[in-house]
Amino acid sequence: MADALPQRMKAAVYHAPHKLEVEQQPLPALGPRDVLVDVSHCGICGTDLHLVLEGMGRPRSIGGHEYSGRIVELGTEVSAWARGDRVVARPGKPPCGRCEFCRVGRTSLCATRDRLGAEAEYQGAFAEYVCVHEEQL
């Protein structure tokens, strides 16, 4: 039987240049094709440094997109993964498959891609748990 998940988690939240605070946050809500990962490790990428040190972060975002961990919860439509699977993930959400970049195979430039804390809503892995779409695993 799976251990019950906590209601809240610790996360390093960006507030302003050079200012991150470790705070209690609710666990991220899962969409039907998302999984919840119990983060074991998270690297600090150059992007994270730009977001924090140069103030490119969106206030209240949570950085961290190079991580590993174990799946602890599955969205209702996820079938190819199971609780306990050890995973790594590509950053952000899946490419749209329809924009001008996706249509020529340059999915890393997808017009809808997450900016990993700079613009779009992004909750990363500088936290105890992170939500990620199954296609990114």
Q: Which of 10, 15, 31, 45 binds Zn ion (CB under 5 A)?
A: 45
Indicate the residue among 27 and 63 with the shorter CB distance to Zn ion.
Answer: 63
Residues 17-36, one symbol each (x = binds Zn ion by CB under 5 A, - = not), give --------------------
Closest CA to 16 of 72, 56, 62, 74: 56
**Interface positions, 82-111, toward Zn ion (CB under 5 A):** 95-96, 99, 102, 110
Q: Is 120 in the site for Zn ion (CB under 5 A)?
A: no
Indicate the residue among 72 and 99 with the shorter CB distance to Zn ion.
Answer: 99
Q: Please, are residues 67 and 48 in contact by the beta-carbon 8 Å criterion?
A: no
Closest CA to 65 of 86, 94, 44: 44
Q: How far apart are CA 50 and CA 12, in angstroms?
A: 16
The least CB distance from residue 106 to Zn ion, in Å, is: 9
For the question of residue 107 being annotated catalytic, the response is no
For the question of residue 15 being annotated catalytic, the response is no
Which residues are at the interface with Zn ion (CB under 5 A)? 45, 47, 95-96, 99, 102, 110
